[in-house]
């Protein structure tokens, strides 16, 4: 008997978009990363904003 294999469980994690604001250039952007740098000025001094859209 050939085993074809069981059902494949695809773990698709829902991406959580985190809103950040850069302390340096004040740009607001969204990222999926927990730790992020500003895409505009590459500063690591970013604030994580609370998104109250839920
Ligand atoms: Zn910036």
At residue 5, the pLDDT reads: 73
Kindly give the distance from the C-alpha atom of residue 52 to the centroid of ligand 1, in angstroms, as a whole number. 23
Q: Which of 28, 54, 32, 33 is closest to 46 using CA atoms?
A: 28
Distance CA 23, CA 47 (A): 7
Domain locations in the chain as residue ranges: 18-49
Q: State the pLDDT at residue 45.
A: 97
Please give the pLDDT value at position 44: 96
C-alpha separations of 19 from 3, 30, 39 in Å: 46, 4, 13
What pLDDT, on the 0 to 100 scale, is given for residue 50? 81
Q: What pLDDT shows up at residue 51? A: 64
Dist. CA 43 → ligand 1 center (Å): 5
CA of 18 from ligand 1 middle (Å) equals: 16
48 C-alpha to ligand 1 centroid (Å)? 13
d(CA 36, CA 17): 12
pLDDT at 15: 81
Measured in Å, residue 34 CA sits from the centre of ligand 1 at: 17
For residues 4 and 25, what is the distance between their CA atoms, to the nearest angstrom? 55
Mean pLDDT per 10-residue segment, the chain (54 residues): 69 82 97 93 95 60
Tell if the pTM clears 0.75, that is, is over it. Answer: no
């Amino acid at each position: 008997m050939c085993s074809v294999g069981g059902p494949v469980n695809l773990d698709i994690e829902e991406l959580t978009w985190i809103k950040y604001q850069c302390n340096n250039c004040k740009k607001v952007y969204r990222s999926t990363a927990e730790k992020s740098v500003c895409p505009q000025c590459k500063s690591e001094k970013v604030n994580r904003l609370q998104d109250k859209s839920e």
